[in-house]
Structure 1
Amino acid sequence: MPRAGREAGVRERGLPDPFERFVAYAGQRLSEDPHLWASTLYDELLELGYDRSYPTMTRQLRDRGLRPACEQCKPAKGRAVAVIEHPPGEETQWDWVELPDPPEAWGWGKTAHLLVGALSHSGRWRGVLCESEEQPFLIDGLDRVARALGGLTKEWRFDRMSTVVSPNTGKVSASFAAVAKHYGVAVRPCPPRRGNRKGVVEKANHVAAQRFWRTLPDDVTVEEAQARLDKWCSTRGDVRLRATADGRATVGTLAKAEPLAPMPGPFPAVLTLTRVVSAQALVSFRGNRYSVPPELHGATVSVSVRLGGAHLDIATEPGPGRGSPLPTVIARHTLAPAGAGATVRDHGHVTALEQAALAASTGARPHRGKERRPPSPAALAHAATLRAEPPDATSAAVIDLSRYAAAAHGRNTLTPPSPATWPESSKETNHQ
């Protein structure tokens, strides 16, 4: 007979279960988010001290039934797909990812934009957070991601985004043709309704949304979030194993072996952003702050940066109507490294700000709300004069309310009032 609490045929564990102390955390995370990836949960458990393998963790999740079933979601039916061969150094796939609910401190509204680029052969990918999907931001993101990937492939593949090709014809736009010529790449748009043609970057989009964006805290800046993404790509994404003809190799090893062309200088596009001047007469841009004249605090200005340039221009906003003043450059500063947290001030702006602050400040004690302040002798003298003066008889207005009552009598009835109720003035008028 088995002992109480024992099951026949099941051996009792001799050592304590190493996953036992992580059960509460894993169960709480999965109850809050049933769709949380197991690999994302594994990343979190490693930081908390879990020292077992990923398959061991997933087996513990299954055996303990920690992931609740989601009745609202149903798996999509599978479909046949073809495997496309991608030679080394041949193609880079690009795509935008719209990420909802960015931190409010970013000031980006309801959506952040992530430009993802992936090497089709090795699977290495990188991403850049952008405020907009307009063409200058796209060009800036292409340059930054391509440098992070290590160089240029022969072709760039896009879906039919309007900033690159015409959605109807698939022809490259004239403005982006100059960009492709600058970097020496051929633009290859995807065929219509063939989203799986760029499956490498689509999978990278899925990973970025689930393993990076889903767990991003609310108190990080844009630069800190970008650093988190870069670190994850280098420490987690590049160590994935891929099957090759010679065995298995990591994504990073395959990417280093790809013949990529060197990067030229950035394409000279101009980024223009709208900013509000702070109370300290500073304008924020990419983790740094730049000064403007103090009289512009609270005003809306535009910040312009030419890619590859060393300066930043701050200009006034143009007027709303025709004939309004044109935008005027009010400050030019040397660009500080992105995310450095530097405050770049012009000496003239500092002096003007100090003078404005001193002029606005006084040494007088501020008034207190519960202070007793009776009328002064001067006010009492004026009051005595007013009491001694007789009222002006010509300005007095005598109002007889009975005349208004007589005129309003009977207006809310269906039958007209009798002449006996008319006012005396009305009787005289009708008699005449």
Structure 2
Amino acid sequence: MSTVCYPSSGQVTAAFAAVAKFYGVGVDICPSRRGNRKGVVEKANHSAAQRWWRTVPDGLTVEQAQSGVDKLAVRMDGRRRTLDGVRTTVGDLADAEVLLELPLLPFPAEVSVERTVTPQSLVAFEGNSYSVPPGLAGTRVRVLHRLGEDFLDIVTAGRAVVARHRRALRGAGQIVRDSGHVIALERKVLDSFSERAPCKSKVRRPPSEAALAEAERLREGQAAAASAAERVVIDLSHYAAVADRLRHAPSPKEENQE
């Protein structure tokens, strides 16, 4: 692969040479156009890369996946081999190999990812959020983390460090804020509110001359309507006479006369 060697010459890249030197291993490059040799190398990982991976059910937890890999490793170590006429297994051959001890810390490679600052001045990385100074909302920044270190840096496009935080556990869903960022963010929010410039919709304005004249006209109309209602006199004597006449049903003779 081009990340390991130069395909044209087969020489190992300088970056991967540093990795090989750090772990004390040798690198054997498969020559180009040697399909059989490359196939032998890939066939050794066939069970892990094909049979196990393609049959993994959906919704598997990390613990269940690790248990499946451990069971597969036991089966792969039990594969039989013949070396110098002696029958053995892959596990026995691996145990007989002299291997170096792994370093206590991983190779100091630097992980760099690009992120966008949220309106809350937060940057997401590996399932957690880290604060940056206010005023960077919507800008693109880079999160730098060197393997083996407990801290990460948030830098701008010009590699200027704007924040440095202790790295939280991957996928913990934590919000890591610097105390200085919190104070600066609160100060910026409070500065947007001022008593010197109150809301214009709440300013008390006295009524204009036209409004006062209209109010006076309405008052005069209400007073005139009230005086007219007082002058109306309702006489109920006519209704009383009609009611007395209707109390007695008229005789047939009276009806004929009418």
User: Shorter chain as normaliser: what TM range?
Assistant: 0.5 to 0.7
- Normalised by the size of structure 2, how large is the TM-score? 0.60
Match of residue 268, structure 1, among 93, 99, 108: 108
Matched, 1:200 2:44: yes
SS at match of 1:295: coil
Per the alignment, residue 242 of structure 2 pairs with: none
Per the alignment, residue 332 of structure 1 pairs with: 164
Matched, 1:352 2:184: yes
Matched, 1:341 2:173: yes
CA offsets per residue over residues 329-365 of structure 1, 9 Å max, x none? Answer: 1001122233333322110112223334445579x99
Residue ranges of structure 1 left out of the alignment (5+ in a row): 1-160, 218-223, 318-325, 368-376, 382-432
Matches for 1:58-207 after TM superposition, within 5 Å: 161-193=1-33, 194=35, 195-198=38-41, 199-207=43-51
More helix by share: 2
Greater radius of gyration (CA): 2
2:135 maps to amino acid? E
SS at match of 1:333: strand
- C-alpha change, 1:232 and 1:256, in structure 2 (3 Å) is farther
Per the alignment, residue 66 of structure 2 pairs with: 230
Residue ranges of structure 2 left out of the alignment (5+ in a row): 202-206, 212-258
Per the alignment, residue 141 of structure 2 pairs with: 301
1:273 maps to amino acid? V
Aligned equivalents of 2:185 and 2:120: distance in 1?
A: 8
Aligned equivalents of 1:232 and 1:187: distance in 2?
A: 29
- Normalised by the size of structure 1, how large is the TM-score? 0.38
Per the alignment, residue 313 of structure 1 pairs with: 153
Per the alignment, residue 289 of structure 1 pairs with: 129
Aligned length: 193
Aligned equivalents of 1:289 and 1:248: distance in 2?
A: 52
2:124 maps to amino acid? S
The CA RMSD measured in Å over matched residues stands at 3.9
Deviation at residue 174 of structure 1 after TM alignment: 2.2
8 Å contact kept, 1:312–1:335: yes
Aligned equivalents of 1:290 and 1:204: distance in 2?
A: 37
1:237 maps to amino acid? L
- C-alpha change, 1:203 and 1:333, in structure 2 (3 Å) is same
- C-alpha change, 1:239 and 1:344, in structure 2 (3 Å) is same
CA offsets per residue over residues 113-162 of structure 1, 9 Å max, x none? Answer: xxxxxxxxxxxxxxxxxxxxxxxxxxxxxxxxxxxxxxxxxxxxxxxx01
Percent identity of equivalent pairs: 41
Per the alignment, residue 109 of structure 1 pairs with: none
SS at match of 2:163: strand
2:99 maps to amino acid? L
